[in-house]
Amino acid sequence: MSWTKDFFIYLSQNNVLNSGAKKWGLKLGAQSVVAGTNLTEMIESVKELNSHGISCTIDNLGEFVSEKSEATAAKKEILSVIEAIHEHQVDAHISLKPTQLGLGIDYQFCLDTLREIVAKAQEYNIFINIDMEDYKNLQPSFDLFDELLKEYDNVGTVIQAYFHNAVKNIEKYKDQRLRLVKGAYKESEEVAYQDKKEIDNNLLKLIEYHLLSGKFTSIATHDHRIIHQVKEFVKENNISKDKFEFQMLYGFRKEMQLALAKEGYNFCTYVPYGDDWYGYFMRRLAERPQNLTLVGKQVFNKKTNTAIAVAAGAFLLGRLTKGKKKK
């Protein structure tokens, strides 16, 4: 794993920067990476994307809550998003994180919360995607998914290519709608690939398997090389464009998003909103540091750059100290 990925993961866990990001909000330039800080702003952003033939998956930002009251508040917000999608008749569905809904507090509480959300979404024929997070929460999240599949057919999940067990999981869930991603958390070499080439190769392996054997595939990447290879693969194997979509994050590679939609590919933009955006954004940079050049100038101002410089110094000092101890 490169030091740049380690660094951005380190920043994502920096409470000072996270608090500052919430405080500065739009003044910091958060609108470059999130589609608004409230429901009204987010819906307008979705309508704009829809006008270009782009569908959306909406994420009410937040994760790893420690109180049931926080999880209940998140549930109410997500239910409001479902109502807003129906009311405004926008082309969108929901992505949500189990830890935001209490997975780390109580499994049954989280499952009951998810059931309420998925049931409401089913009333309006709205799809719910269960996002995957770090390895600690991986199997519990799959367990939640398994329980929901017993009752609902409007739910899917995510397979992260950097995990060693990704192939096993995609084989298990080949009959489900899946989003395929590289993976953005810091994981040990015991459970996850560390080399970029290995991760890229595994992602392509997963994509090709699910396109040939599975249901609808969401290919979530900003990597133009992987996108090109997917285009060639579907042509060579006569795979209909109705079987898959490309996905990218709101605010990233906008021209490519529009170009893919104009080329006739199904395209979906991952639309996060809310003020808890900092950790999410840092992990996107950890996943692909090149993303920094795509939105960095719009997001970081002098105050933030100073804070990041201090954090970078602490990070590098920690690495040097750790290196000396090893010697």
The residues annotated as belonging to the active site are 131, 179
CB of 119 closer than 8 Å to CB of 82: no
190 forms bridges with which residues in the sheet? Answer: none
Residue ranges of E strands in 141-266: 155-160, 178-181, 217-220, 244-249
Tokens representing 307 are: 């804070």
CB of 312 closer than 8 Å to CB of 285: no
CB of 53 closer than 8 Å to CB of 90: no
Closest residue by Cα to residue 176 from 200, 203, 157? 157
Q: Which residues of 146-176 are buried (b: 16+ CB within 10 A; e: fewer)?
A: eebeeeeebbbbbbbbbbebbeebbeebeeb
Q: Name the strand (E) or helix (H) holding 57.
A: strand 55-60
Cβ atoms within 10 Å of 82's Cβ, excluding its own: 22
